[in-house]
Amino acid sequence: MNTRSEWKPRIALTALLVAVSGIGFAGCGRRVDDKWTRMRPPVYPATGVVECDGQPVAGAMVTFLSGKDDGSDPQAQMAYGQTDSSGRFRLRRFPEYEGAVAGDYRVSVTKVEYSDTTPPNPDPERHYPPIEKSVLPDRYRDGNTSGLTATVTSDGPNTFRFALER
């Protein structure tokens, strides 16, 4: 027969799981309407495509960065997006808001692959970190050296095409 003292830990655990689940679902793509959110600058839809040597680049991270390149600009803005299998991306400024703040941006595009470094007979006491390899030319990793720029406007259409070359 179960006693009350046996049920208390179960009830506490169940309540904790329900609370954590509620917090997780509350932040899933739902727009937040609070003081801090209302203070954010407006964002405008911005999309595009990335190609390298005429072929779409899947799985690349596209980053738009405004302001001074030394990081000292308090008004600097950033937006980011990841390309799909056809090289298309959709920018996002805030986690729950798609788009970018209007302005001029330096653009970087990165895509890395990781290769396993574990030898055939690995030492079980040793960690073998993967090696990171850039798939795209290194100059595109930094908005200051990429040569890629974009201007997001409030009246759109804010559709960009970045044709990278090896």
3-class DSSP state of 97? strand
- Exposure on the CB side of residue 106, measured as CA atoms within 13 A: 17
CA dihedral 110, 103, 47, 107 (to 10 degrees): -10
Give the separation between CA 82 and CA 100, rounded to whole angstroms: 14
**Calpha distance 50→107 (Å, rounded):** 11
**Which whole number is the average pLDDT over 20-40?**
61
Mean confidence (pLDDT) of the chain: 84
Residue 16: pLDDT over 70: no
The pTM of the full predicted model, rounded to 2 decimals, is 0.73
Nearest-angstrom CA–CA distance, 111 and 135: 6
CATH architecture of structural domain 42-164:
Sandwich (2.60)
Place of tokens 């055939």: 120
Separation between Cα atoms, residue 134 and residue 50, nearest integer Å: 16
Q: Return the higher-pLDDT residue of 145 and 28.
A: 145
CB 58 within 8 A of CB 67: no
* Cβ atoms of residues 139 and 87 within 8 Å: no
Q: Is the pLDDT of residue 119 over 60?
A: yes
Averaged pLDDT for residues 37-45: 87
Q: Residue 140 and residue 136: Cα distance in Å, rounded? A: 7
